[in-house]
Amino acid sequence: MEKSLVRPSFVTQFNCIGSECEDSCCYGWNIYIDKQSYKKTLANSELKVLAQKALKKVKKSEDAWAKAVLNQEGACGFLDDKQLCQIHAKAGESLLSHTCKTYPRMSHMKDGDRYESLSLSCPEAARLILLKPNAFHFERMTVSHKNQFEVTPLWAQKAHDYSIQLLLNEKLEISHSLTAIGILMKTVESAKQLVQNSSSIDTMFQQLLTLADNGELKHHVASFNQDTELQKMHAFTSIHLWLNTNKPVRGRARFEVINQAVCRVVDEEGNFSVKQLNNAWEQHALPALEKHQDLFNRYLFYYFYHMNFPQVDKLSPTEAFRLMMVDYFMLRSYLAAIAADKQGLTEHNIIMCFQVYHTSRQHKANFSKYVVDLLDKCGFDELPAILTLMN
């Protein structure tokens, strides 16, 4: 059966920068080695002695047969003093474990087609995705396979395509695009629950385009002006504290830079303040992002593609929208805190915020469920309140 392989240019352009990397994936996390790679490494005369110390057999599964033993600094035992991988240097890429060979490359399947991507937890991948020109040219290749696949429901196909179109609509500012996507997800949810026909999604999308064209969407956005300062404070501090607990060794020092900056965003009484965070965004982050005005558009385009929004972690369409708004809110808050602390934002700071947040988020089991439950508790259950996370 003929199917497609879709590859964005940020995947084609990616090359690991090895010892130049500011947060190497060879540090501080569980690096598992599959059975075949484990056996071949021990059988290699140049690696045998090192492998006996640097690998520990755990036999969790065929894919996780052994684990890399980390040294006191959290580094994989195969790294030499120049931070180069000895397996790669002495035996070539073919002997690397599946994780080491493929990371940060990832992919998801949809209707039998494969969509390739990169994880934002790799700094070099984050740089390509968020900052480099021409990162989002897509090539589609024909491949054949006989694997079974599930067909994407019509509501999900429409929700995905229309969300991307609303995000990329040049007439819409990002806040207007997100408002329109939030409104659309309510209709998508009804269609998913069979309360409405899936053609209602087309109708709503057309209405939203009309509202965008005649400027009325702007008035909608302006009318969503609830005061949610206390709820935002609760949501931000809860998520930040959770991410700051039991952190993986990888990225810990970089997370601490962000944490220290957050701790300095305080009011006159020394309490953490969302108002101060907003001031920091206006006064320090926005001017510093002048050169990167498309930063969040790129991030969200990547997000929709990479996560196959709104089919995210078995969440409903409105829950997936709320999760995405929280990711946006947390990243904006971290950028604001760092911008206030450093009196501006360099490209290095920008990449750090996105990469550290995604590394931390990825290491939390059930992150999306935690966030959705927290939003319910904080009163972020209806669209007008959720949209205030953009401000």
Among 34, 124, 189, 327, binds ligand SF4 (CB under 6 A): 124
Contact segment (CB under 6 A) with ligand SF4 among 17-25, 45-53, 314-322, 360-368 equals: 17-25
**Separation of alpha carbons 308 and 302, rounded Å:** 10
**Separation of alpha carbons 82 and 317, rounded Å:** 47
Looking at beta carbons only, is 95 or 288 nearer to ligand SF4? 95
Among 24, 228, 311, 318, binds ligand SF4 (CB under 6 A): 24
Q: Check residue 174 for interaction with ligand SF4 (CB under 6 A).
A: no
Looking at beta carbons only, is 103 or 115 nearer to ligand SF4? 103
**Separation of alpha carbons 389 and 383, rounded Å:** 10
Q: Do residues 181 and 321 touch, judged by C-beta distance below 8 A?
A: yes
Do you find a cis peptide bond into 104, omega within 30 degrees of 0? yes
Site for ligand SF4 in 88-117 (CB under 6 A): 103-104
Q: Give me the least distance between CB of 28 and ligand SF4, in Å please.
A: 11
Q: Give me the least distance between CB of 104 and ligand SF4, in Å please.
A: 5
Looking at beta carbons only, is 101 or 108 nearer to ligand SF4? 101
Among 5, 6, 21, 233, binds ligand SF4 (CB under 6 A): 21
Looking at beta carbons only, is 25 or 66 nearer to ligand SF4? 25
Q: Give me the least distance between CB of 258 and ligand SF4, in Å please.
A: 18
Angstrom CA distances, 327 to 85, 208, 308, 316, stand at 33, 24, 15, 17
Q: Do residues 139 and 10 touch, judged by C-beta distance below 8 A?
A: no
Angstrom CA distances, 353 to 118, 147, 235, 236, 248, stand at 17, 39, 18, 15, 16
Contact segment (CB under 6 A) with ligand SF4 among 12-20, 38-46, 259-267, 324-332 equals: 12-20
Contact segment (CB under 6 A) with ligand SF4 among 16-24, 86-94, 206-214, 269-277 equals: 16-24
Looking at beta carbons only, is 158 or 358 nearer to ligand SF4? 358
Looking at beta carbons only, is 21 or 106 nearer to ligand SF4? 21
Q: What is the 3-state secondary structure (H, E, C) of 269-311?
A: CCCECHHHHHHHHHHHHHHHCHHHCCHHHHHHHHHHHHHCCCC
Q: Give me the least distance between CB of 171 and ligand SF4, in Å please.
A: 37
**Separation of alpha carbons 339 and 345, rounded Å:** 5
Region for 249 from its dihedrals, namely left if φ exceeds 0, alpha if ψ lies in -120 to 50, beta otherwise: alpha
Looking at beta carbons only, is 103 or 328 nearer to ligand SF4? 103
Question: What does the chain come to in residues?
Answer: 391
Q: Check residue 122 for interaction with ligand SF4 (CB under 6 A).
A: yes
End-to-end CA distance of the chain: 48
Looking at beta carbons only, is 5 or 16 nearer to ligand SF4? 16
Binding residues for ligand SF4, rule: CB under 6 A, are: 16-18, 21, 24-25, 103-104, 122-124
